[in-house]
Structure 1
Amino acid sequence: GTVALVDVGNGLSHILIAADGVPRFARLVPISLQDAVKSFGFLLADVEPVGTGAEDEQQTARQRHKEKLRAWCNNVAGEIQSSIGYYLAQPGSADVERIIISGRGARLAGLAEFMAERLDLRVEKVRPLEGITVQPGCEDITREVLDFAVCIGLARRGLEGAK
């Protein structure tokens, strides 16, 4: 089918729309997780803001934090939506059936769910280690695997040719 692959990176993000495995549209997107962290002050590992004030102050800070996060997620979804719209305006294009996200931003709690709701499409995180056995002692890689999805994909592709 037709899939939008979205890599939400630290610096820039990328969108690639592929139809039946063939790339049909690619776009570099001015969405930066780094800028979001600077602007909004949220942390990737812990979406809740760190605070030491009274309970009411912490609750207010958490609410402001969630609103800022939602605004950033809305920007990401807007860029994806405009890219899909442009792709669909091309002759012979097919409806996008789902979105697969990768990159460090894909680890942001709630991003996939928000995008699915906003874009009315199935959104899933890439699973680059699917079919790969992780050796004992290397399990820590699974926590950051979305950051390296492109690298893992290229390595897997290179290994296919080595057989």
Structure 2
Amino acid sequence: QMNVLLVAAKRELVEGRMGLLTEAGLHAAIVDVDAFAIHNAFELNYPDAMQGVVGLVNIGHEVTNVNILEEGVPVLTRDLSVGTRRFREDLQREKGLAADDAEKVIQGVTQSADLASYVEARGEEIAVGVERAAAFLATASRSAGGLARVFTTGGGSRIPGLNEALASRLKAPVEPANPIQRLAYKDTAFDAVSVDEVAPLLMLSVGLALRRAA
């Protein structure tokens, strides 16, 4: 017997990505799934976090990907239609900020006391999605325990106060993941930026780079 994992994707989505590569003069050796690529990067960098039920939450611009691991194995993924764009639009709509100014606030470049209320509201949406995914796993009798830890990635993981808001709601430790902490890189690679600031943005890229064509 052999366990087989079948992944379905819309043809236009795959062809659109392939078309971009073709226009750039590149050839794709393999097509991967975001959740699996993120898991591969996480597994390499956090070998000691493979026990129990762990949540990987990739907070992107449009979508938040939730990946639930059980004993290090991805068992459930879910996409939430909330991302950093929602945070920015909240500030633009409610506070009359320009897009660039709102972006600086959610990146922590500009301080704003108003951000906390929006972080709490949108953080609640993300937390509910994570809770439902974990609850589905428990209902399926796959695991008796709740979330042991949660790791965030993507641009949203840098929003001031969001990790703390998620931890408060989920009743579990939440921390931004660093996909390059076990990788060797040139000392000059991050001269222009802070490693801690840019690392959460590299999770998907590192996961894709770890793949090998069969």
TM-score bracket, shorter-length normalisation: 0.7 to 0.9
Q: 1:17 aligns with which of 65, 68, 71?
A: 68
How many pairs were matched up?
147
2:199 paired with 1:145: yes
* Aligned mates of 2:165, 2:66 — CA distance in 1: 17
Match of 1:24, SS?
strand
* Aligned mates of 1:86, 1:3 — CA distance in 2: 14
Match of 1:105, SS?
helix
Are the equivalent residues in 1 in contact too, given 2:56–2:150 (CA < 8 A)?
yes
Q: 1:77 aligns with which of 127, 130, 133?
A: 127
> What is the TM-score of this pair, normalised by structure 2?
0.62
> What is the TM-score of this pair, normalised by structure 1?
0.79
1:77/1:155 CA distance change after superposition, 3 Å: same
2:90 paired with 1:39: yes
Q: Unaligned stretches of 5+ in structure 1?
A: 50-61
* Aligned mates of 1:15, 1:94 — CA distance in 2: 19
Residue deviations 1:101-134, cap 9 Å, x none?
Answer: 1111001121111111111111121110111233
Q: 2:209 aligns with which of 132, 152, 155?
A: 155
Are the equivalent residues in 2 in contact too, given 1:40–1:69 (CA < 8 A)?
no
Match of 2:208, SS?
helix
Match of 1:97, SS?
strand
1:150/1:118 CA distance change after superposition, 3 Å: same
Are the equivalent residues in 1 in contact too, given 2:167–2:173 (CA < 8 A)?
yes
Q: CA deviation at 1:157?
A: 4.3
Partner of 1:55: none
* Aligned mates of 2:133, 2:170 — CA distance in 1: 12
Are the equivalent residues in 1 in contact too, given 2:116–2:161 (CA < 8 A)?
no
Percent pairwise identity: 21
1:40/1:79 CA distance change after superposition, 3 Å: farther
Partner of 1:127: 178
Partner of 2:154: 103
What value does the CA root-mean-square deviation take over the aligned residues? Answer: 2.1
Q: 2:79 aligns with which of 24, 28, 40?
A: 28
Residue deviations 1:135-158, cap 9 Å, x none?
Answer: 122112723221121111221344
What amino acid is the match of 2:205? Answer: C
1:152/1:141 CA distance change after superposition, 3 Å: farther
Q: Unaligned stretches of 5+ in structure 2?
A: 1-50, 93-101
Residue deviations 1:65-118, cap 9 Å, x none?
Answer: 322222122222122112211221112224221111111100112111111111
* Aligned mates of 1:133, 1:116 — CA distance in 2: 31
Partner of 2:47: none
* Aligned mates of 1:81, 1:11 — CA distance in 2: 20
